[in-house]
Every structure is written in C-alpha cells, then in structure tokens.
Amino acid sequence: MNPRPEKQMNSLTNTEADEAHDQQPVRALFQLSCELASRYTEELDAREVVPGAEVLAGLTEFHGPLPLEGTNPEQVIRQLDRVGSPATVASTGGRYFGFVVGGALPVAIAAHWLATAWDQNAGSWALAPGAVELETVAAHWMLEILDLPRDAVVGFVTGSTMGTFSALACARSALLARLNYNVRRRGLAGAPRLSIVVSDEIHPTNLSTLGYLGFGLDDIQHCPTDEQGRIIPKEMPELGPKTIVILQAGNINSGSFDPFEEVCRKAKASGAWVHVDGAFGLWARASTSKRHLTRGIEQADSWSVDGHKWLNLPYDSAIYVCREPEAVQDVFGIDATYLMRNAQRQPNNLVPELSRRSRGVEFWAALKTLGKRGVEDLVDRNCAHARRFAQGLEAAGYEVLNDVVLNQVVFACQDEASTQAALSKIQSSGVTWLGPTTWKERLCMRISVSSWATTQDDVEQALSVMQQAFQREV
C-alpha cells in the first residue's frame, strides 16, 4: 500500500512546505555533511592534536545576535566545519591519550547518522519498534560479551555517571524494600538510613550520583586502598543489609581492579548490595587474557559501563545492568494512561528518560561489525600499546608508577618541576596529548590507550615526543 496517497501528494505541491521537503536539497545537505565529516576524519592524522590559540580565537565567529531571519542550511554546515572542525580536540585520532575517552568507530558514527535521520524516540516500542528491537538485541549481546547474568536488566543511558546513578537508585529501592520500606511511596524522609562504602580511590562521579540520590557525605565511608588503588577488603567496615558497596573495575589512573571475589562474598553473606563502576575496565571481561582481573565481578548486583569509552561509540552512550528487575520497575516504571503497554521491551521503564535517542543502534552496529573477536582484539591491542609505552618511558628515564595491567600508564620524572616541564613539552608538541594526575600524592602524567585508531606507529611517534621531553632535573 502506498503510504502517501496521490491526493495528499498533489495537495502538497507548489507550497513552501513542499519546497522544504523537496528530496534534492536534503540529499545535497546530507552529502555535504558526509563529505566534510569524511575529510575531517581523513585529515586528523596530519593536524595538531589540540587546537592552537589562533584557531580558538576564531570561535568568536559563532557569536553574534540571534539572527532574526534564517540562514541557508548549506552555509550553516559549511561554517560549522570551517570554524568548528579545527577547534576540536583530535580525540578520535590515534595519538590522543588524555583522560579515558576512546575514539569513535567509523561504523558507529555511520550508524549514529542513520539513526539520527530516523529520529526515533527510543523510549517506546510504539514510537520506535526497529530501534527498540536493536536495543533489545544489543542488551543481550552486552550481557554475553561482558558475561553478566543473562536475565539482568540493561538500561541505555548517556554515560557511566547516569549508569551509576540509575543502578544506585535501584540499590536504594531494593535494600529499603527488603526492610519493608517502599521509598517510592514514602520518600526518603523517615526511611531507614543506608550507608555507603567506597574506596578512597572512587571516581568522583560516583559521589555526585550519591548526592543526586539524597545521600549525604556523612553517609559515605571511605576505605583504604593498596599501592595500585585497590580496596583492601580486611580494612572495610562491617557490611550489612543497609549497606551499598561501590567497587571499581578500572581505576581511572592505574587501571587496577578491586578484589571483587572477596568483597562480593562478604557482601552477599551480609545482605549488602554491590555496584561496580566499570566505566572502561568492565571491557576487560571481553578479553581472554584480561578477564582474570574481573574474577568474581559477576557476583555483584549492578554494573555500569560506557560505550563511548572502550567500545569506541560516539558520545553519549553507556549502559547500566541491574540484577533485580523489580527494583528497576519500582524506580523507573512510568504509569501514564496514554503510554501503551505491550509485551515488548519498553525502554522508558528502565532509565531516567522518557524520550531519548536510540543508543542501542550504535551498540548493535559496533558489536555486529567487530564481533567478540574484534572487541577482544581492540582491548588487547590497546593494552599491548600501554605496555610498550611503559617500557619505552622507563627506557627514557621516567618512573612508571603503576602495574600496567590494562590500558593505563602513570609516570613521572624524579621531581615535580621536571614532571611539569615534561608535561608542558608533550602537550605543546601538537603530535600527542596526555594529561596530568595526582597519584599517591605525587604529580604525574597519565596515558590512557583506548582508541581503535591507535596504531603501533602512533605509539612510537608519541613515545618519541615523550622521550625527548624527559627532564632529569629542572
């Protein structure tokens, strides 16, 4: 059946609306955007990794009063490219090692574009059957590749921060429900007080999410960690049915992993809830050679992991996983008369948002393209690059301060001034970029290798800059 009957088509001709919907300008605009994006990507390797002052000064061109009249869309896209593209940090290139960001797989970008053209509201099956189906498959695949309980709930969110937020909301609901307290109905005032146990190496976004959920800093107990930043189980406070423990898969500096097996065993016996912040480190599960680092992690109750970091999806993309569907329903289940109920996955009942973009499409496309072997190869390659960095840095005279078990390298010169001087040289080289950090109260530099685009040659080029920047003493 023709979805646009003749009559309707005819009635639209010769109107402004019809001109706006003419297929040619849309195609030309999309092709222009695709052409500019392709050129941007192809030229990444030849440009400076971070934009210079002159380029940044050019951003003033975006300013100005809100225009009264519109502008030709082609002109808008061309201006975005001319002024905006050079002002980007080349974090999708192969020589960016700052923070933990990951790049963006070409297929994931392409899937993202297509899904953007679909403009589906992936909160609901009725609005987006295809996108929701892809999300359903992606959820199963994620549980399989991360080897987490296959019947757990998977929610697609913007980042690990929101993943942890969502999971901790479920933890709060579940623990209070076990104490016969329905927090959804009765609110937090008057609820039994829960306590939170984290390591003193916890990523700060976890603390933010606890604040959003109504926990105060006084509710949080910080546990000491060892020389790699792993929580020390025997120094943990007593756990109980009113405790939420947050563990880490992948310390933001050292890449280390908390001892999940021991802590989960203790937590289970006591009735505590364990959440794992696995923003990037949970991907170690996908690698045969790295998987041992996560031993026991499957015993936890909830997990969060980014897609936009190590899976190399475009921003913003992450999931959280929760063992208890009842808690997810209690926290996120939306009851509105106009929402349709059916047997299919209903994403708006799993995450904080009602309307949202279809993140599952990119997860599906990346996992379909890479396969289990491709993901494993990505993780292993990046880890091997990190080891090569560690070896080359030590040979140049730097001190490498962590066990390079994953993709992170923490290193420094002998004194702080030398470290600072070396860092400035590296950052201003244009060839590569990495950031500072404080590790065990010492100013250090930190490398994170998390992009699919990084080659052996990129590593050698960056290493050469780092070797030349080495300062014995300022």
Ligand X SMILES: Cc1ncc(COP(=O)(O)O)c(C=O)c1O
Binding interface with ligand X (CB under 6 A): 100, 159-161, 203, 205, 250, 252, 277, 279-280, 306, 318
Nearest CB to ligand X, comparing residues 257 and 389:
257
| Residue 322 main-chain phi, psi, to 5 deg | -130, 135
Nearest CB to ligand X, comparing residues 318 and 412:
318
Q: How far is the CB of 112 from ligand X (least distance, A)?
A: 16
Q: How far is the CB of 161 from ligand X (least distance, A)?
A: 3
Q: How far is the CB of 252 from ligand X (least distance, A)?
A: 4
Nearest CB to ligand X, comparing residues 161 and 287:
161
Residues 6+ apart with CB under 8 A from 161: 205, 208, 209
Q: How far is the CB of 196 from ligand X (least distance, A)?
A: 16
CA distance to 169, 278, 326, per residue, from 350 (Å): 11, 19, 11
Nearest CB to ligand X, comparing residues 160 and 302:
160
Nearest CB to ligand X, comparing residues 160 and 407:
160
Q: How far is the CB of 287 from ligand X (least distance, A)?
A: 18
* Sheet containing 435-439: order of strands: 399-400, 408-412, 442-448, 435-439
CB 100 within 8 A of CB 450: yes
Nearest CB to ligand X, comparing residues 407 and 454:
407
Nearest CB to ligand X, comparing residues 243 and 317:
317
Q: How far is the CB of 382 from ligand X (least distance, A)?
A: 15
Strands 435-439 and 243-248: unpaired
Residue nearest ligand X (C-beta atom): 159
Q: How far is the CB of 304 from ligand X (least distance, A)?
A: 7
Q: How far is the CB of 48 from ligand X (least distance, A)?
A: 24
Nearest CB to ligand X, comparing residues 166 and 346:
166
Nearest CB to ligand X, comparing residues 128 and 142:
142
Nearest CB to ligand X, comparing residues 319 and 365:
319
In a 10 Å sphere around its CB, with 0-12 CB exposed, 13-18 middle and 19+ buried, how is residue 42 labelled? exposed
Q: How far is the CB of 200 from ligand X (least distance, A)?
A: 14
Residues 358 and 132: their CA atoms lie apart, in Å, by 8
CB 92 within 8 A of CB 43: no
CB 324 within 8 A of CB 303: no
- AA identity, residue 159: G
Phi-psi category of residue 251: left, alpha or beta, with phi > 0 → left and psi -120 to 50 → alpha = beta
Q: How far is the CB of 105 from ligand X (least distance, A)?
A: 17
Q: How far is the CB of 123 from ligand X (least distance, A)?
A: 20
Q: What angle do CA 325, 159, 233 make, to 5 degrees?
A: 70
Q: How far is the CB of 46 from ligand X (least distance, A)?
A: 28
Nearest CB to ligand X, comparing residues 249 and 328:
249
Nearest CB to ligand X, comparing residues 305 and 413:
305
